[in-house]
């Protein structure tokens, strides 16, 4: 599932096409994705200007001139692809309609934004912009990793006394928004912390170090266009290249990249999910 860097990459790709532009016609080709789509969705989108395109955690939020906000979650295989517009140095012509093109936004000026989702685990919702923070998908989210509210004292307070593994704590969207399996693995490797360590047992210095490391990992991933493992594509259809820089994720059995470390990357299963780490240098 796309994590914060992938969703931010998509947002940045869509921004030049959507923000400030009018949806000339919205095309909704099925009644549901993971959940039922909003009533009269095509009608409510058609003719509206996108006043801002934001991201909250792993969700895209398009504020509309109608006073509503369109929420988009990409799910496991969702893609939002732009055609008929210049993105950077590339111009993508409109492709032939595809089987899984579930929602298509035809923009004034000829651009098209297509939401394609083969597995239909994605979601869309429409809600009043001034009450967006109360949406069931957003209301319990923790602070954004790049925001001022996410800092060393905050994280120390949230981890204090917790008897869950640090990996599970960092994956908890109520503690910090947007982190997923990939970037937690890379963060804990750089911090030299075992994913099996209990969050409440971390030393003060280790907790302090996590905040800047989380930000560094996410910033580098955004710069690389996210990570493409299976289905993720940027808005221009290109792959994300941070996967070429993985130090532990999906590298089971390979040598640890820490200079002088004799360890090998291993895979452990925690709550049904794979954890990749080096037992020799992550303690």
Catalytic residue numbers read 2-3, 58, 273
Q: Please tell me the total number of residues recorded for the chain in this structure.
A: 283
Strands 59-64 and 68-73: antiparallel
What is the C-alpha separation between 173 and 212, in angstroms, rounded?
18
Q: Distance between CA 13 and CA 201 in Å, rounded?
A: 41
Determine phi and psi for 116, rounding to 5 degrees.
-115, 130
* Token pair listed for 267: 């895979």
* Distance of alpha carbon 133 from alpha carbon 119, whole angstroms: 27
- Return d(Cα 16, Cα 60) in angstroms, integer: 15
- List phi, psi (to 5°) of 234: -70, 175
């Amino acid at each position: 599932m796309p994590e914060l860097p992938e969703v931010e990459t998509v947002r940045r790709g869509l921004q030049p096409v959507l923000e400030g532009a009018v949806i000339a016609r919205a095309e909704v080709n099925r009644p549901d994705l993971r959940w039922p789509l909003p009533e009269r969705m095509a009608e409510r989108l058609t003719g509206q200007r996108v006043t801002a395109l934001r991201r909250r955690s792993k969700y895209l939020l398009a504020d509309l001139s109608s006073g509503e906000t369109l929420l988009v979650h990409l799910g496991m295989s969702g893609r939002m692809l732009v055609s008929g517009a210049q993105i950077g140095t590339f111009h993508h012509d409109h492709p032939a309609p595809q089987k899984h093109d579930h929602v298509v936004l035809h923009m004034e000026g000829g651009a098209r934004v297509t939401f394609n989702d083969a597995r239909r685990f994605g979601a869309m919702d429409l809600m009043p912009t001034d009450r967006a923070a109360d949406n069931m998908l957003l209301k319990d989210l923790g602070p954004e990793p790049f925001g001022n509210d996410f800092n060393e004292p905050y994280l120390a307070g949230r981890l204090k006394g917790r008897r869950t593994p640090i990996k599970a704590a960092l994956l908890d969207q109520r503690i910090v928004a947007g982190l997923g399996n990939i970037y937690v693995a890379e963060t804990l490797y750089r911090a030299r912390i075992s994913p099996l360590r209990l969050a409440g047992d971390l030393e003060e210095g280790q907790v302090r170090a996590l905040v800047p490391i989380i930000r560094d990992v996410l910033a580098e991933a955004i710069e690389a266009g996210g990570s493409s493992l299976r289905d993720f594509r940027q808005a221009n259809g290109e792959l994300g290249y941070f996967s070429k820089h993985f130090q532990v994720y999906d590298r089971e059995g390979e040598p640890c990249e820490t200079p002088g470390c004799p360890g090998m990357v291993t895979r452990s299963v925690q709550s049904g999910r794979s954890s990749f780490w080096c037992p020799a240098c992550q303690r």
